[in-house]
Structure 1
Amino acid sequence: MKMSSKEIKKTLHPRNKHISGYDFQRLVKKNVELKSFLVESPNGQSTIDFGNPKAVFTLNKTLLLLHYDMQHWEIGKNSLCPPIPGRVDYIHYVADLLAKDHNGEIPRGPKVRVLDIGTGSSLIYPILGHQEYRWSFVATDIDQQSLHHAQLNISKNESLKKAIELRFQPNKEHIFKGIIKPKEKYDLIVCNPPFYSSREDNWKSTTKKFQNVTKNKEAIPVQNFGGHANELWYEGGEKAFIRSMIYESLDFKDQLGWCTTLVSDKNNLKPLIAVLEFKKAKDIEIIKMEQGNKISRILAWRWS
């Protein structure tokens, strides 16, 4: 599939810098490397081949350079390459969530503390959250190598050095335990949980998506956004991960404000909401996000 610059219009958050699509002329001017990946869409517009992992990475790297002043951004080998328009949408929607407790004004600055669960090597939510709203972040991961690359992104961008702290989660069974320190408080939790329940489940989905993109049933599947095991699958899949997240957040309810997570499968919402209602969450919200044909949701809750 090739996406033209107009195909993401009118579906993104109103404050999203990418709501009018990709300005490839400005992007190429900022990073000439992108030029070699440009192709012409059927309607005669400039675009890239979204089935090409290098093209996807170069596009997103250039978006971060042009719009978010990221002078350096790299990801680990085979790591997830996040699509910037969709990721910053999450940040804008949770900013609106925080605004509800501040007379409609989005709280900005380092006093707003955010915890990012599973930051990956891209460090994408802390980067976007800080560059857009100057929030401060603690970013966690269970993979040391991912945190190594994340630290490189921090150390090579001056604006990030005092804004983001990385923490390693040594126990894959825990999400908040071993991370949140006594007396720490967070205004917001963000999370993009692993979606698949197994390697086999992930491979089947990858193959189907790749064949739809390339229109070639014989081509060897390639994930255009990559992904390490811990980024892609968790025993029991997305629903099990978020359920664990809900139960653990209850243990830290006095230290947490809004807890949020992406939910890719809408069928997971009802059972997760049932858990939250059973545990008497004070507030529960579902925020719908759209980007082109892709629809995802943010599940948000708080205990007090």
Structure 2
Amino acid sequence: MTKTETFVFYLVDEFAHIAMSCAVEPLRIANLVSGKQLYEWSFASENGQTALASDGTVMLVHGGFDKRVRSDRLFVLAGSNVKNHLSKPLLAALRRERSHGARIGGLCSASYILAHAGFLDGMRAALHWFYHDAFVEEFSNVELVPSVFVADEKIITASGGTATADLMLHLIRETHGEDLANQVADQMVYNTVRESSAEQKMSVQSRHGMRNQRLTEAIKFMSENIEEPLSTKEIASEVGISTRQLERLFTRYLQSTPSKYYLEMRLQRARNLLLQSERSVTEIAVATGFRSTTHFARVYRGFFGVSPTAQRARLT
């Protein structure tokens, strides 16, 4: 007789609705196409009655974080403004479940919660790309990877959205075989199932339809040197071409100059840190290569149409 696996989902307020659907639907469809009760699931929230999704949907749940529910897997599912929902009851429940041997995982931005609890120390983890910049600043002892999910660690994680479906299909395949996983994917009209090694965001090559290795290397050097920006000449030297050749590559493929592209990359990083972290404007200016807070504020306003301080105030 096939054992029924029980999944419990801790829904943290402002959880990503798409990730929740992509977590549960593969399990439901697996039951449907197999004709067996392979999976059952339940939901919990802090108040024990409802959970609020980021799209405004209010969802009924089966209980609160304070009650133990036997499960084969426990997933924390978070979404927007995850730091605002990092509560003592949630952390206490996770530590309790861990002490009882629960197999814990995180979906979407939940890796932030698990890292804060110390569960991900020394591990590889996946997290929605939007939260990467702030995460790496705060949790240097966690190896954040760009993959859609990580399933070969003690704590498994998925970056959210449809990556959650990829993880669930992976778990179905591991337990019940390739055929069932493919049948579930077919029922979902999901013909681009990704392995864990797939990256969340499109590569520079895919995004711009280019195949120039030198340009890809140049952009990689830029992204790795945000706090202390390199000159265009230094970047060109790193990739083994002249400054003029590098400028031609950026014009041809990106309709930009190296310096402009680099500045926009730094400003986007600054915006992410403003929205995701509690670091001061001065600290963010330094972290993104600006020697003067005044200069940073002026350039930021010129690009985004709002000052750094006003950008952050919009969240409150």
Length-normalised TM-score, structure 2: 0.28
| Greater RCO, CA 8 A, separation 6+ | 1
Higher helix residue share: 2
Length-normalised TM-score, structure 1: 0.28
